[in-house]
Every structure is written in C-alpha cells, then in structure tokens.
Structure 1
Amino acid sequence: MKYMLLAAATAAATFASAALAQPMPPQPDTPAYKACMAEEGELRPQRQALARRFREHEAALERASADLSAHDAASAQVNRTDSAAVAAYNARQDELNARAASLNTEGSSLEKELHAFNARVAAGNIRCGNILAPYKVRKKEK
C-alpha cells in the first residue's frame, strides 16, 4: 500500500514539474498577445486575396479549356489543302498552348504562395494558439 501511495506522489510531482517546464502562453494586454492579434489582422486580407486569385485562376483555366475544346472541334472544318487556313489553325493552336503554359506557371506560383502562407499560419498557430483571452479583450483588439 505504501508503494502505491509513493507512486501516486511521484506521478503528481512529475506532472507538476512537466507543467512548470511549459512556457506560459501570451496573455492579454502583453506585447506578445498584441503581436499575435496584429499578425492575425495582417493574414486575413492575404487569405482573401489568395482565395480570390485562386478563383480567378480556376475561371481562366475553364475558359482556356473551353477554347481548346472549341478549337479541336473546328479542326474538322479546316481545309487541309489550304495553306493559309492550316497556318491560321496552327497559329491559334500555338496561342492556346502559350496560354496554357502561362496558366500552368501561374498555378505553380500560386501554389508556392499558398504553401508559404500556410506555413506562416501554422507558425502563428504554434506561437499564439494557447492564448486565453476573454471575449471583451479580443473584441477591443479588432
């Protein structure tokens, strides 16, 4: 029985020392808390801008896909013996290919920006995620 009490006391002491080893999260009305709120305020418009740019990119991809489908459908009407018609068709194909390449490059760039944004949000969540602030304090910060 004494062994069980000793084990319980040791476990409680270990838990208490582990809790003391944890850094205290930023508290309201501290510079760290205010920095977290300021960072959150900066991220909101960036998130909205990224979402808008992704929607615009998706719409551009859909337009390019529709244009390519229409161009492919028109290939049956091209007179293959008319060199001017073939050249016009090929020029339009080159234009569509260049637009697709540009959209792919833009998409890669957007993905990199999104990954960087998500990394910044994750770092902020780690740094600021444990803040316990009353609603009235958070309301004042906005």
Structure 2
Amino acid sequence: MKSPAQEYVELVRDGVMAAQYIRDWESDRADAVLLAPAFTFLMSNRPVDVQFWLNVGSAGWWERLYQPLTHPHVLSRHWQADKLWLDSDEVAARQETLQRLTQGLLQRCRHTLYLGLSELGEDGYEQQGALLMAIQHVLREHHER
C-alpha cells in the first residue's frame, strides 16, 4: 500500500494535480514582488499594497480547471446523485467562482489595482471574457452616476 505522500507525488508527476507547497511567507521581504496565479495568491492569504490583474479579457478568469475524473460540484457531498449537471449549473458555478475570486483579491489589495488588457487573445480573436464584461458594467454604472 502506498503512503499518502507517494500518492501525492504520483498525482503531481502524472499531471492530475498541481504541485502545492507550504511556504513561510513571513520570511519574504516587504519590498519584494510576488508573481502568482490568482488562486495561488489567494491561498497565501497575504495582503499587498498593489495588485496587477493581467489579461482581464481572457476567458481563463471564468473557466474552472478541468482535471480527469474530477468535478468539484458533482462529486461533492451536497450534489443530488440523480441530478444532471446542466449548462445553467456550469454558468452559475462559474459566476460564483469569479465573484469569490475577485472579492478575495480585492480584499487583499490595500491601495492600488491595475488591470492589464489585451484586445486580442492568444488565438487572435477579440477577448470578451466574463471578468472584462463585469468590469465594463461597473465602470458604466459609475460613469452614469
């Protein structure tokens, strides 16, 4: 029988799970720059003076990670066994995740937020991701006041 540590290493090696590690955040210098994906930054639970959100037009802010043989909602204890996962469930879950992600990031930003935007995505098409649409909506409402 394999130990949990051996199973974890195999999951990371096989690409099923991303490597996570425990880090001593206290040893970081106050004037340092931290580059991290949004969810990794949230897990550090570390407030900062300035944040840069890059590529806010990308659908990546909206999409969940797709991993083989896992589904965080359908496989949870709260999901009804006989219920089908519909597109409407996926949209609602994505909206809730995006809301929680942005709220968590904003709560950890003490002073300034910079938004990075590219008109075209990696595939050469115009980007109109959910985060960009939400930001545009907030700016329109603020401008109308």
TM normalised by structure 1 equals 0.27
More strand by share: 2
More helix by share: 1
TM normalised by structure 2 equals 0.26
Rg comparison, structure with higher value: 1
The higher-RCO structure (CA 8 Å, 6+ apart) is 1
